[in-house]
């Protein structure tokens, strides 16, 4: 069963802030750029107040600044730029990679089940795989090129997945760039996110 998180889900705050900003502009303009900063952890037990500042309203572009507030302090701030739809004589986009359709791929749950049935699987994997399988994940993920755990090889630091939301959405740094295409090949979103990575230290076992 699902246990609520102790902190607000960041994607929920981003989405609600963007909706608040969009309600302050006319319906014929659409967001084309969004910059966000998470200032403090959000409390899921307290309502979030979204304050929208009309930074600029122009004939073609409009800018809105949004502040999400709890306990009188900002937990999140963002700036959104909106553009009125205009005809463009020049159009281009990154080409979508050549990948199998999601209907032909296995989701992570099925892959984990296959891994656990592999007689050559190393003994260190089952515990972690069962722990992952027991989690309820709000996103369905289908890896395009999964590697058998029994035959791990060096790979370039790039992976491709089909993803879609499902159910509810409940000092080290990392920078991730992503492009999301619709299934018909249209580039829908380009994004970059910087985050803090905290890894539990591994204690080496004595071999004596």
Structural domains present in the chain:
10-84 (3.10.129.10), 102-147+156-196 (no CATH)
Dihedral of CA 23/28/29/31: which sign? positive
CA nearest 94: which of 11, 23, 178? 178
The reported pTM is: 0.52
Q: What is the pLDDT along the chain (208 residues), one digit of tens a residue?
A: 455 567 888 889 999 999 999 999 998 899 989 999 999 999 989 999 999 999 999 988 999 999 999 999 999 999 999 998 877 777 777 787 888 888 888 888 888 888 888 887 778 788 888 887 887 776 778 888 887 676 566 766 677 887 776 543 335 566 667 788 888 888 888 887 766 666 666 666 655 5
How far, in Å, CA of 19 to CA of 22, rounded? 5
């Amino acid at each position: 069963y699902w246990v609520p998180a102790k902190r607000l889900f960041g994607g929920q705050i981003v989405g609600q802030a963007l909706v608040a900003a969009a309600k302050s502009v006319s319906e014929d303009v659409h967001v084309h750029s969004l910059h966000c900063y998470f200032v403090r952890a959000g409390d899921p037990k307290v309502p979030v107040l979204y304050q929208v500042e009309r930074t600029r309203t122009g004939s073609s572009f409009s800018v809105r600044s949004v502040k999400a507030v709890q306990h009188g302090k900002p937990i999140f701030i963002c700036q959104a730029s909106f553009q009125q739809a205009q005809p463009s004589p020049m159009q281009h986009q990154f080409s979508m990679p050549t990948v199998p359709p999601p209907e032909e791929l296995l989701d992570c749950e099925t892959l984990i089940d296959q891994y656990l049935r592999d007689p050559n699987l190393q003994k260190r994997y089952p515990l972690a795989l069962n722990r992952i399988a027991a989690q309820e994940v709000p996103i369905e993920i289908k890896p395009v090129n999964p590697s058998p755990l029994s035959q791990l090889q060096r790979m370039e630091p790039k992976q491709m997945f089909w993803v879609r939301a499902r159910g509810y959405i409940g000092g080290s740094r990392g920078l991730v760039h992503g492009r999301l295409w619709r299934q018909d090949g249209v580039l829908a979103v380009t994004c970059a996110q910087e985050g803090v990575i905290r890894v539990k230290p591994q204690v080496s076992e004595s071999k004596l």
